[in-house]
Structure 1
């Protein structure tokens, strides 16, 4: 069986961070967060790394990653563009930002032909998540069985502001029954709340949330394309609308097309949403290095 592919979402604009955080250095030798994800993915058994990027990022990405990865793993580059004609949409819709993470998956449909995992470029996930995902993709995944790694929300917050999280509900079999995108989650008075319509609602610290760590097979592309075309038709006059992966999952679950196994983890997430997060990420990586989880020089 062909090894699964890791699809890294790296086409975002990083507006709150202020620069291209996808290729910012955090490790002792300038390693990016992506470097640690790729290191863990290769160790776990992924056979190819596909970067979903904006075309203008190509030379920067190749310059950073190709010298490190040559001979270690196959690499591939996929462009997230504003071209809608390839999906049969004969319109030019002006936007400043890409169409979102669900659209990013769709852009890879001609280059990914094996089970694959989707992650963010700017999040640290830990080896356990990659190993558990490889196990799922190679033994369980099919057209009707997908997965998501569920992080405890208490392990995923930023000290420097609110975060967006896909809050998961699970059924008795451990499959996701619903996912709600909460766009403003933060700590308050020793607890965790999310804000909606200017009201605050509590969340238990152990609530599983999506950190955009998904497992799919290529069967997902056709239905994603249908959903995306419908989404564009409904949102062509809303330049800030985004076609998120949870919209795909929600449709598949509600229509009994596919299940999403929630793979639990106790790992502590860290990542960069705000510029102020950089120092915290560096401290976390330095601790992992000092604890022997990673060598001081990753490559």
Structure 2
């Protein structure tokens, strides 16, 4: 059974100022998602599932159906505010849904095979999809999951500090993930993070999570009780989000599942702010020029 690619595309793109998931970056207006899908098909994924808000459905179908028809199966999962589906009857006012792990839970009735989860607005590179497809088809089990571990120095921006989930790895498995909020290059290109007004060095090959996770469908049953407990605890906190690393952390600590850190030397790039767009366009142009991608992705 071929694995499924689950794309987190329900975000409102508030920092970017437009719907960046469908913004064009390639020579023929290709989106970042297009490159992820292209790499996933090439790596052997059998289905693409978009997690979106229901009101974006026509928009997404109009953009992706014409180019993917006949190439790969597509499916759409809706992340909504409706908590009754989880047996939660209390009305809770929120301006945005409950985060990435809640988005993954939205797919629990539609995904029945090993799958991976990625962000819509991140460029991951073919090697990452190839390695993840191999893991999902040969190694994944209900107690053995994975994430792609990027070298921190291959994920940083020259436009200031970023947040990164820094992985603590032992014997190839993640034992903890620590969110570092201010990670950046110093003038000599060494990597540091700042905390409490102090700088701490990070080795350039430190592995970080860029939200590229591999699971079996067992994770739905494992994470649903966690989500209910999270909602109960955070019902009066409208900004609390149920993130995938929270689920991973709890599964590791309880001994329910291990997470293999799959290393990649691929360069990650993404779009957080408008200023990032020309850099992403330049990176993609270079990959087209060196033959990594065709000039017209879906021709």
Equivalent residue, structure 1, for 2:174: 176
Equivalent residue, structure 1, for 2:209: 210
Give me the whole-angstrom Cα distance separating, in 2, the residues matched to 1:204 and 1:168.
Answer: 12
Matches within 5 A, 1:178-197: 178-190=176-188, 191-197=190-196
Matched, 1:281 2:267: no
Does the C-alpha gap of structure 1 residues 33 and 212 become closer, same or farther in structure 2, counting only changes over 3 Å? same
1:160–1:274: 8 Å Cα contact kept in structure 2?
Answer: no
Q: Which TM-score applies when normalising by structure 2?
A: 0.97
C-alpha distance after superposition, 1:35-74 (max 9, x if no partner): 0000000000000000001111111110100000001000
Matched, 1:116 2:78: no
Give me the whole-angstrom Cα distance separating, in 2, the residues matched to 1:6 and 1:34.
Answer: 11
Matched, 1:29 2:28: yes
1:159: how far off?
A: 2.1
1:94: how far off?
A: 1.3
Matched, 1:249 2:248: yes
1:199: how far off?
A: 3.9
Q: Which TM-score applies when normalising by structure 1?
A: 0.97
Q: Which runs of 4+ in 1 moved over 6 A?
A: none
Give me the whole-angstrom Cα distance separating, in 1, the residues matched to 2:158 and 2:274.
Answer: 11
Q: Secondary structure at the match of 2:274?
A: coil
Give me the whole-angstrom Cα distance separating, in 2, the residues matched to 1:271 and 1:55.
Answer: 24
1:17: how far off?
A: 1.0
Matched, 1:49 2:51: no
Q: Secondary structure at the match of 1:6?
A: strand
Equivalent residue, structure 1, for 2:11: 12
Instruction: Give the superposed CA RMSD.
Output: 1.1
1:292: how far off?
A: 0.3
Aligned length: 297
Equivalent residue, structure 1, for 2:78: 79
Q: Secondary structure at the match of 1:211?
A: strand
Structure 2: which 5+ residue stretches go unaligned?
A: none
Equivalent residue, structure 2, for 1:63: 62
Q: Secondary structure at the match of 1:97?
A: coil
Give me the whole-angstrom Cα distance separating, in 2, the residues matched to 1:195 and 1:98.
Answer: 30
1:160: how far off?
A: 2.2
Q: Secondary structure at the match of 2:45?
A: coil
Give me the whole-angstrom Cα distance separating, in 2, the residues matched to 1:55 and 1:198.
Answer: 43
Q: Secondary structure at the match of 1:282?
A: helix
